[in-house]
Amino acid sequence: MKVRPPIATSTILMSSKFLAAAALLLLPAFALSGQTKIAEKVDSPPELKAESTQNRPQITVQKRTPAYWRVTFDNPPFNIFGPETIPQMEKVVAEIETDPDLRVVVFDSAVPGFFLTHYNFTPPLAESTGLPSGPTGLHPLPDMLVRISKSPVVSIALIRGRATGVGSELALASDMRFASRQNAILSQWEVGAALVPGGGPMARLPRLMGRGRALEVLLGSDDINGDLAEKYGYVNRSFDDDKLDPFVDALATRISGFDRQAIADTKRLVDFASLPSDPEIAAGWDAFITSVQRPAAQKNIGRLMEMGLQKDPDIEARLGHYTQTLADK
């Protein structure tokens, strides 16, 4: 795979203001929100601190056929997304963009209870700030989401467990979303912690569900279960859990048999009418960078870390509840 050259300095969003804010880099992307526990119980990992994910693969690619791939997130116990994940995800996105035979990719999870959750902000700061901007000129995370949306390949999010923060934003960037009625939770929790989301949900949600419902999701910062997500347009459809995988597999297999150029051209024309522009995504990222510098956000995140964020399964499962307690103080 060819290594992409770095974007020109003028396009890199690394101002002194960015560096000042970087102590909480990508914070709005690491999101769980909610007061409703999903059916699957997550046990407390006794050796979470001792486990290092720096060199362990967090993403696997199963090429079911040359035209149909499964991209699976596997970073237990919570499927947290961090700076160590970004190079792995970048490699996958580049392969999706360049493989001449690929037609459909399905994103799913191997971690019970979690599709994809929030950003890992315990590694050294340099691991995040040292990453170059992507081909769009955006930070690597929003860059990859934009590229997934614009890829000629059809992308499908199969959501079982919590898709919050990065998980919600990846689902929104995908072409289609299908959820478990019993075990899917979607949300953007950031406003509950005095933050502005940074991965593009302000640009994408209104196009899917309308302004009022988008504001309810974003400003309410609460859980949206599979049934409500379907009613609001957050996902295409929700299914009983045992029917989710068969439906997604059948749809992906069906599409993967169609002409690649016809798929790409049709998707490109739909994109004209439906995708947000890169400047819209950049504006959201800039608003996030401003928000993470505010004292209220820094204070709230510090409190959540003290409560046990990234360690306590109850905090991870009910972050919406715990952010609400911040507002009471």
Predicted pLDDT at 133: 86
CA dihedral sign of residues 188, 191, 193, 196: positive
Predicted pLDDT at 155: 98
Predicted pLDDT at 104: 98
Q: Is 313 helix (H, G, I), strand (E, B) or coil?
A: helix
CB under 8 Å to 189, separation ≥6 — which residues? Answer: 31, 32, 33, 34, 164, 165, 221, 319, 320, 323
pLDDT tens digits, one per residue of 192-227: 988 899 899 999 999 999 999 999 999 999 999 999
Q: What are the two backbone dihedrals, phi and then psi, of residue 52, each rounded to the nearest 5 degrees?
A: -105, 130
Predicted pLDDT at 70: 98
CA distance 147 to 145: 5
Report if residue 275 sits inside a domain: yes
Predicted pLDDT at 124: 59
Q: What is the CATH number of the domain that holds 142?
A: 3.90.226.10
Closest CA to 34 of 157, 120, 159, 162: 162
Structure tokens at 108: 């799913």
Report if residue 210 sits inside a domain: yes
Report if residue 174 sits inside a domain: yes
Predicted pLDDT at 126: 62
Q: Which residue has the tokens 């795979």?
A: 1
Predicted pLDDT at 128: 65
77 preceded by a cis bond (ω within 30 of 0) = yes
289, HSE (Cβ side, Cα atoms, 13 Å): 19
Look at the chain and count its residues.
Answer: 329
Structural domains in the chain (count)? 1
Residue 135 structural domain? 13-36+56-327
* pLDDT < 70: residue spans in the chain: 1-54, 121, 123-129, 328-329
CA distance 250 to 72: 18
Report if residue 107 sits inside a domain: yes
Predicted pLDDT at 54: 55
CA distance 33 to 224: 9
Report if residue 5 sits inside a domain: no
Beta-strand ranges (E) seen in 223-275 are 224-225, 237-239
CA distance 156 to 134: 22
Report if residue 294 sits inside a domain: yes
Torsion of CA 123, 95, 118, 205, to 10 degrees: 150
Structure tokens at 305: 């870390």
Report if residue 302 sits inside a domain: yes
Report if residue 269 sits inside a domain: yes
Beta-strand ranges (E) seen in the chain are 59-65, 68-73, 104-109, 114-116, 154-164, 176-187, 224-225, 237-239
Q: What Cα–Cα distance (Å) separates residue 178 from each residue in 106, 163, 236, 259? A: 10, 12, 6, 23
Predicted pLDDT at 121: 61
